[in-house]
Amino acid sequence: MFWFLLITMVVVVAAVTLAVVGGGDGEVLPEVAPEQLVDPLPVARPVDRADVEALRLPVAPRGYRMADVDDVLVRLGAELAERDARIAELEEALAGAGPAGDAGDAGGEGGEK
């Protein structure tokens, strides 16, 4: 039994050593070009939900590429800030128009009576 375990251990160590050192002429892991962001967010129009859902960030050896993620987050942040400003502008215009329209209607009704 001892000899069987010893021979098995020698065979396993030899196989692992051969695999690590590389028994062939070819590379174990060939060099691969890094992935690039293929379809970035549209520049000519505002970003919509479909654009964000279709977005696929390239993967790097240790996760996502920080530059691509930063670009997307900056773009989405700018879009959100622009939309928030537009919503605030429209709400302000609506609030300014609301009381004047109500007062004009009330005065018109009072003049007819």
72-113 pLDDT, tens per residue?
888 899 999 999 999 999 999 999 887 655 555 555 555 454
DSSP 64: E
Closest by CA to 38, choosing from 72, 3, 88, 83, is: 72
State pTM to two decimals.
0.49
H or E stretch at 101: helix 66-112
Confidence band, pLDDT 50/70/90 cuts, at residue 32: low
On average, the pLDDT of the chain sits at 78
Q: What is the mean pLDDT of the segment spanning 54-67?
A: 81
Q: How far apart are CA 64 and CA 57, in angstroms?
A: 7
